[in-house]
Amino acid sequence: MKLYYDFHIHSCLSPCGDTDNTPNNIVNMALIKGLNVIALADHNTGRNCPAAIAAGRKSGLVVLPAMELTTSEDIHILCLFERYEDLCKLEEHIRGTRLRIRNKPEIFGEQAILDENDEKIGEEEDLLIVSAGVSVEEVAPLVKGYGGIPIPAHVDKQANGLIGILGAFDYGLGFEMVECSADCGVDLPRIVDSDAHYLWDIAEAEHFIEAETCSAHGVFAALKGLCEEGKGARGGKGAERKE
C-alpha cells in the first residue's frame, strides 16, 4: 500500500521548534495534510516520541521514533527507528558525549517534554542543539548497531548538510539512504521530508513509500528494503515517488 510520509518533524522539545508543535498538534496537522506516517525527530533526543506515538495511536497515524543527531562535524543525521527502546539506547550513548551547556530558554527557546495529552511533564535542561561527540565516520555503524537507519539529513543544504560540510558525498561512510529536497546527485535511495519546525510546514501528502502494512513495523521494513536496494547496486529505486 502507498503510505504518504514526512519523516522529519521537530516538536517543541527542539529549542528551535515552535511551542505549538506539541505531539497532538503535530499528529492532527499530519492527518489534516493526509499523511499516513510521520517521524518525530528532535535534535539529539527522542523524549517527546512516546507522547507522539501515543497521540498517533489514538488518531490512526503511524509515528516512528527518531532523532536528528548532530555529529562532531555539525552534520545532521536523521536516525529512524521502529522501537522507542532502541532509540533510547542511542540517546543514552550520545548523551554522555554531548557538550553540557545549559539551555537559556530566553535565547535558544524552550525544550519542553510533554505527555500524550500535551501536558508538560519536564524540561530538557541541557541545550540540545550542540554536537554529540560522535564523528561522521562513527555514526552509521553506531545507529545501525542500535537497530536504526541513519540518513544524512537535508544533504543538499549548505547548513549542517553532509555534502556542504565535507565537500562531497563519501559512499564509504556506510549510509544507504539520503534525505534531500530534489535530485542532489547522490546515487542512493532518497526520502523527501519537511524538516518542519512549525505546524504549517509539515509536508503535504506528496511523497510516499510502498509498505506491506500501515504500521511502524511495515514502514520500517519498507525503508530497510529500500536501503537494501541502495546497497551495492547504487541507483536502485528511490523512496522519492511523486504523483
Residues of this chain that bind Zn ion (CB under 5 A): 68, 76, 153, 160, 195
Question: Which is closer to Zn ion, CB of 134 or CB of 153?
Answer: 153
C-beta of 48 vs 160, nearer to Zn ion:
160
C-beta nearest to Zn ion: residue: 76
Closest separation between CB of residue 197 and Zn ion, Å? 7
CB-nearer residue toward Zn ion: 180 or 227: 180
Smallest gap, in angstroms, from Cβ of residue 44 to Zn ion? 11
Interatomic CA distance for residues 155 and 221, integer angstroms: 23
Q: Which is nearer to Zn ion, 25 or 218 (CB)?
A: 25
Shortest spacing between CB 68 and Zn ion, in angstroms: 5
Minimum CB separation from Zn ion for residue 195, in Å?
4
Chain centroid, CA 85 distance in Å: 16
Which CB, 15 or 56, lies closer to Zn ion?
A: 15
- Paired with 210 in beta bridges are 2
Cβ at position 232, least distance to Zn ion in Å:
28
